[in-house]
Amino acid sequence: MNRRLILLLPLLLFAGLLIFMAGNLGKPQEAVVRSHMVGKPVADFALEGVAGAPGLAASDLASGKPVLVNIFASWCLPCAVEAPQLQALKDKGATLHGIAVRDTPEKVAAFLARHGNPFQRIGNDDGGRMLIAFGASGVPETYVVDGEGIIRHQHLGEIRPEHVPELLAELEKAR
């Protein structure tokens, strides 16, 4: 046996391992998942209102004009971060509906009192069933739903200022 070769062996094994790991890294492995519901109608649902806002039902989404549906919760930090952007979207003429997931009415009311309420209707989804109806993997997520109630676009995570024109364009596209 060649001694030099043996001493080289660990390096070669490690190189192989490294190539494998680097290869694995190249693959997308995001934990967030794009909704499989984009392009499909929202399943029928009817949620009660919360914080003085009227409730939200599937029929409200098929109202003839595109709307934004924002899935949020009072316990979610990015939801607070995106509040000014939601307000900006509303000021630019977008219609927003909210779905509060796994929350209590008091906390939702307190959250909206502190961060502002840009929503026309808010559905209270204490079981979190709407996450699956929209194909969401977490909160916050924002969906563009067209006039026939079909989901056209999904925005994952918080809306940052640079996303506002993007969402307005998606709304325009869904018209």
Partner 1 sequence: MIPEIGHFALWLAAAAALLQAVAPTVGLWRNDAGLQRLAVPAAVAQGLFTALAFAALTWAFVVSDFSVKLVAANSHSMKPDMYRFTGVWANHEGSLLLWVLVMALAGLAIAFTPATLGSRFRDRVLSVQGLVALGFFAFLLLASNPFERLSPAPTEGQGLNPLLQDPGLAFHPPLLYAGYVGLSVAFAFAVGGMLENRVGPAWARATRPWVLGAWALLTLGIALGSYWAYYELGWGGWWFWDPVENAALMPWLAATALLHSLVVVMKRDALRAWTLLLAVAAFSLSMMGTFIVRSGLLTSVHAFAVDPARGLFLVVLMALYIGGALTIYALAAGRVAEGRQFHLVSRESVLVANNLLISAILGVVFLGTLYPMALEAATGTQISVGPPYFNRTTLPLLLAMTALMAVGPFLGWKRSGTGHLAARLLPAGAAAAVFVLVAAWPFGVRGVGWLLGFGAAAWLGAASLSMLLRKGVTLAIAGMALAHLGVAISILGATASGALQREALVALRVGDAVELGPWRAELLDVRPVAGPNWTAIEAQLEVKREGHRGAVLKPQSRMFVAPAQETTESGRAGWRTGELYAVLGKPDGSGRWQVHLWVKPMVRLIWWGGLLMAFGGLLALGGKLRAFAPHKWRRQLARPAQGAA
Partner 2 sequence: MAVARPRKQQRLVLALVALAVLAAAGVIAMFALEDTAAYFRAPADIEANPPAPGETFRLGGLVKPGSVGRSDDGLTLLFTVTDMKAETSASYRGLVPDLFREGQGVIATGRLDASGHFEAEQLLAKHDENYMPPEVAKALEGTGHPMDKTAAKGG
8 A C-beta contact, residue 136 and residue 106: no
Q: What is the torsion angle, in degrees rounded to the nearest 10, for the CA atoms of residue 144, residue 173, residue 44 and residue 63?
A: 110
Least gap, CB of 35 to partner 2 (angstroms): 7
Which of 122, 139, 144, 145 is the binder for partner 2 (CB under 8 A)?
A: 139
Q: How far apart are CA 45 and CA 59, in angstroms?
A: 8
Compute CA 11 distance to the chain's CA centroid, rounded to the nearest angstrom.
45
156 binds partner 2 (CB under 8 A): yes
In the list 4, 5, 11, 26, the residue contacting partner 2 (rule: CB under 8 A) is 26
Q: Which residues contact 65 (CB under 8 A, 6 or more apart)?
A: 95, 147, 175
Considering the rule CB under 8 A, would residue 161 count as an interface residue with partner 2? Answer: no
Residue 62's CB: how many other CB atoms inside 10 A?
17
Residues that bind partner 2 (CB under 8 A): 1, 25-36, 38-39, 76, 127-129, 131-132, 135, 137-139, 156
Residues that bind partner 1 (CB under 8 A): 3-4, 7-8, 10-11, 14-15, 17-18, 20-25, 27-31, 73, 75-77, 80-81, 84, 102-103, 114
